Structure 1
Amino acid sequence: MFEKGQYIIYGIRGVCEIMDIKTIDRPGGPKGKLYYELRPYYHQDCKIVTPVDSDKTVIRPLLTRDEALCLIDRIQDVKEMEVTEDKQREERYKEALKTCDCHVWVSMIKALYLRRQDRTRQGKKMTDLDERYFKTAEENLYSELALSLEMPREKVVDYIKSRVVDEEQMD
């Protein structure tokens, strides 16, 4: 169980702060059931109430600073997600986001980035579907990394680029 004031990843909602842990008796439901009251970090006007023992949505702790740095240092080794059938594209993206796994998000971002480059070379724009999932995956990943690394979210991309370039120069 997590603690009040702790930041966690809550499904596709991303980074949330645990504002409270309280007992709620719902009509027709079990008595004395514990719930988290969450506030999405980047949507301060929202509130989510979810059972502490819910298995419907992935709830996990944020990456530690060391885990975040390790992920960034291994970004080049992450293979991009393969989607062979266009009809499966959206389903694959949804499933990738639901995993709440940073490595999967990196894989998805890399695949969508390469797809964007390929479409640009062909004189085409990125599809709305691809753009929407690309932004969502980036937002989820960069939000978590920003908190784990204690930096503003808008500086995360440049920080990643600088570390990846430094790694390349060392090889």
Structure 2
Amino acid sequence: MITLEFARTMARYNRWQNRSLVTAADSLSDEERWKNRGAFFGSIAQTLNHILWDDRIWLARLRRDRDNEARIGVHHPYTDDPNDWSVFVADRAALDDEIVVWANALTDAELTSDVSWMRGDEDVVTNFGFNLAHMINHQTHHRGQVHAMLTAAGVHPEATDLQMLKIIEGESPS
């Protein structure tokens, strides 16, 4: 379904785009970050929190780490406490770096293997590559929501074009 090169590229893209959104959101006040803007998760901060939570749980699932998956559970990690922003920023950056390292260590055998994970009380078995594609797609979907909310708030994150990643990394887009 997907290749190692694609997985690794998307891990780097994820890190770049999260840095862009967090940097843009950092220029807003805590009140502006938590303001309900009518998105599915309400605010910029709540949507960013959801992306972080989902990345953590899918990474645990893809690592076959049932204990960590259970610990993460169904709760998002941050509240509307403004003091949490600096913690969120550090956690997001650390997780993005961890995802890049993890993606660089993936093997072709893993991409085609099955993964067992929990959906509520149900044990679900699905393809690793399909789950990784879901994780990537989910990140992109919700980052688009954050990008729109930031733009509406008068803040302009970096471009989102995948080709720009290669330029930023010093390569020619192909």
Report the TM-score range of the alignment, normalised by the length of the smaller protein: 0.3 to 0.5
Considering fraction of residues, name the structure with more strand: 1
Higher-Rg member (1/2)? 1
Give the number of the structure with larger relative contact order, counting CA–CA contacts within 8 Å between residues 6 or more apart.
2
TM-score (normalizing by structure 1)? 0.33
Considering fraction of residues, name the structure with more helix: 2
TM-score (normalizing by structure 2)? 0.32
